[in-house]
A and B are shown apart, each in its own frame.
Chain A
Amino acid sequence: MAGATEETARGTAGGTAGEPGAPDVVVVGAGQGGVETVAALRARGFSGRITLVAEETALPYQRPPLSKGYLLGTVDRAGLELRPDDFFSALDIDLVRGDRAAGIDRDRRTVELDSGRELPYGRLVLATGSRPRRLPVAGADLEGVRTLRSLADADALRHRLTGGRELDVVVVGAGFLGLELAATARTLGHRVTVVEAAARVMSRAVTGAVSEHVAAEHRGQGVRVLTRREVVALHGGTGSEDPGHVRVVELDGGERLAADLVVAGIGALPNVELATAAGLLVGDGVIVDPRLRTSDPDVYAVGDCARFPSPWTGRHIRLESVQNASDQARRVAADILGETGPYTAVPWFWSEQYGLRLQMAGLTAGHDEAVVAGDPAAGRFSVFCFRAGRLTGVESVNRPADHGISRRLLASGTDLTPQDVARPGFDLRARAQQRPSPPAQHAQHAQHAQHAERPVHA
């Protein structure tokens, strides 16, 4: 080995007892947010004791492939892992698997686990994620009615979808998760119907242009997409069929869809029970301040479970994305190390359905003007969303360059106008390249400076 490596820095700073002065850190939840928190702490030289509590027994994994490649069979289990087996021990992180944080005693500053083990903390990070909403209709507890959140859920679904029989699959809810599931089930050769209560697919997340394009893609692939329709009940088998297994999905208006498998993708609820029981401020999510601290300054919350003040909307919001969980985790790790500051990262999200690459930069909800650039007919376009003349978000279909450049423009602030985008021949790449490209270091500092000074309102 040559040079001053991180390996050597870590080697001298270890010690299971923790360094004097460094707080004991306990992180609850070993998903995207929890794992990134502990990894970032060590990467930045944190020398205290770290315990990561994982309710699940599986090695911490990524969720995005669960509805995509893993279900399809193109990504294997090893490809899901956030980090390999020996990662945590090598970094002197105590990963407690298959045990659940059952309670927090804030006076004694301890977390109690189901096993009875007590973990003292100086700083506590809640990264408990979210769980699927269940269908609020009769028959929702029948066999064959499922949701998808965990690896176990995905394994069960994969078992059904790759069982060799062509199934009638009904997906309830046309959000990202539901549509990804529909695409995967269809690709695996099943008859798929999507039932959505709203007027169009992904209506809460994307503009009409993207919504229409994606719905058309599903229809073209042979999926039946029903909008403005609600599921009113699920029914089990009759006659010789198993009455305990779903066979029929009943819609408002009386239509009955045949179903061997029903998957609900109707949103998620933040896992806040631990925080509520501990007397922390909770709304739809654990409420945090700009530094991601809960109403107890020694307790942070990150990821799907956290409701944070967004500089992009001027309100408290909750986001369910890898970006949000990872960037919040890094912010909290820095905060614990004394590098305090607000969380201001540009939100972004991606989804894959069939070959479609959907990417969202910023937040487009609440825009008052949307301009399409590119070629929707050819399946390559972006929708630029403005509010009061200012760019707030960009949705891209098979235009990764637009997406990345938009993220950068949103981070640094941009004077891009709807008129610019509407001009014939508009090309964001050409525009981005026009800027003299300063040395990396300076570009970065300039970005940060602007970010801090500029209050952002969507």
Chain B
Amino acid sequence: MAKITYKHPNGTETIVDVAAPNTVMRGAKINNIDGIEAQCGGSAQCGTCHVYVDEANTLPLPEIHESEDEVLYGTACPRRDNSRLSCQLPVSEEIDGLVVHLPEAQS
């Protein structure tokens, strides 16, 4: 179980508890957080689960693998150094307290 904070572009935020083995993407879908579409259902195909990890983050996240890297080039909002596909971020106690920022648009 991990507490994940999703920050919306309008300044509000949604904080939810997400259980393993979900991903940060799935946590948003389960809690009906608008702003993550995840059309391909988590297969790193669509880039509509794009998030910006909070710049102050120190929690350990997995490396960006090649296909995630490729998909991140094509996201609707510009890629930044802290861009990730939330479907590639598995939830575990290690990321309890993670804060991600939702982009203005996913498609």
Contacts and interface: CB of A to CB of B under 8 A. Distances in A.
A438 B78 CA distance: 8
Interface string A419-449: 0000000000100100001101101100100
B15 A2 contact: yes
A345 interface: yes
A265 to B, nearest CB: 20
Nearest to B101: A440
Contact of A432 (B9, B31, B37, B73): B73
B71 A401 contact: yes
A407 B70 contact: no
Nearest to A351: B45
Contacts of B34: 6, 40, 43-44
B40 A322 contact: yes
A352 B41 CA distance: 13
Contacts of A84: 30
Given A401-B70, A444-B104, A4 B39 contact: no
A62 B41 contact: yes
Nearest to B79: A437
A326 interface: yes
Given A87-B32, A440-B104, A322 B15 contact: no
Interface in A330-359: 345-346, 348, 350, 352, 357, 359
B64 interface: no
Contacts of B72: 404
Interface of A: 1-7, 39-40, 42-44, 62, 64-65, 83-84, 87, 91, 322-323, 326-327, 345-346, 348, 350, 352, 357, 359, 399-408, 411, 429, 432, 437-438, 440-441, 443-444, 447
The 10 closest A-B pairs by CB, nearest first: A404-B74, A43-B34, A401-B73, A400-B70, A3-B13, A437-B78, A401-B70, A440-B77, A4-B12, A444-B104
28 contacts: A4-B12, A6-B31, A6-B34, A43-B33, A62-B41, A64-B41, A87-B32, A323-B107, A326-B37, A326-B39, A350-B40, A350-B46, A352-B43, A400-B44, A400-B71, A400-B73, A402-B74, A403-B74, A404-B47, A404-B71, A404-B72, A432-B73, A437-B78, A440-B78, A441-B9, A441-B104, A443-B104, A444-B77
